[in-house]
């Protein structure tokens, strides 16, 4: 039987680009990681009419959403367009599996403000991996 778990204990830590142990806590509402690998089409006359593909370049697209912390400016953490940071995205607490992205290229540190909605000032950080990264491994439920 499968053992499901809540994302309520997902954690995010950021740090200096290249670090394998980023330690600055960022309190987030949501994060998304999308691995990608666009295949090269290697279909040929011997493939019996079936497409053949070969893996090429692997990468990750990352999105992190959070309420803007009035005492912890994300820009002071180096989260600026065109910069690199190191990121760990924990699945279920900081003692379990995590995504490790030593070089996350920041494409956009978007901020949203809507004074008429009553919503908090919000941030959305989007970026992509640069270089090697690690998939989560091991048991996420302890």
Q: What is the pLDDT along the chain (142 residues), one digit of tens a residue?
A: 889 989 899 999 999 999 999 999 999 999 999 999 999 999 999 999 999 999 999 999 999 999 998 888 899 989 999 999 999 999 999 999 999 999 999 999 999 988 888 778 999 999 999 999 999 999 998 7
Edge-to-edge strands of the sheet including 84-90?
24-25, 11-16, 84-90, 98-112, 122-129, 58-67, 30-37
**Domain membership flag for residue 43:** no
**Domain membership flag for residue 49:** no
**Domain membership flag for residue 110:** yes
Residue 23 backbone zone (phi > 0: left; psi -120 to 50: alpha; other: beta): alpha
**Domain membership flag for residue 89:** yes
Beta bridge partners of 31: 64
**Domain membership flag for residue 48:** no
Name the 3-class secondary structure at 103: strand
**Domain membership flag for residue 141:** no
pTM: 0.88
Number of domains in the chain: 1
Domain range for residue 121?
7-37+57-129
**Domain membership flag for residue 123:** yes
CATH number for position 80: 2.30.300.10
User: Is there a contact between 87 and 79 (Cβ–Cβ < 8 Å)?
Assistant: no
């Amino acid at each position: 039987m499968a053992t499901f778990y809540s994302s309520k204990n997902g954690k995010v830590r950021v740090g200096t680009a290249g670090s394998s142990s980023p330690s600055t806590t960022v309190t987030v509402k949501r994060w998304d990681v999308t691995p990608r690998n666009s295949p090269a089409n290697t279909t040929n006359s011997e493939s019996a009419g079936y497409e053949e593909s070969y893996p090429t370049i692997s990468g990750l697209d990352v999105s992190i959403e959070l309420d803007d912390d009035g005492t912890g400016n994300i820009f002071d953490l180096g989260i600026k367009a065109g910069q690199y940071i190191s990121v760990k995205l924990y699945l279920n607490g900081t003692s379990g599996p995590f995504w490790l992205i030593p070089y996350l290229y920041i494409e956009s540190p978007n901020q949203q403000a809507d004074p008429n909605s009553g919503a908090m000032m919000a941030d959305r950080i989007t970026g992509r991996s640069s270089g090697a990264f690690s998939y989560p491994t091991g048991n996420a439920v302890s």
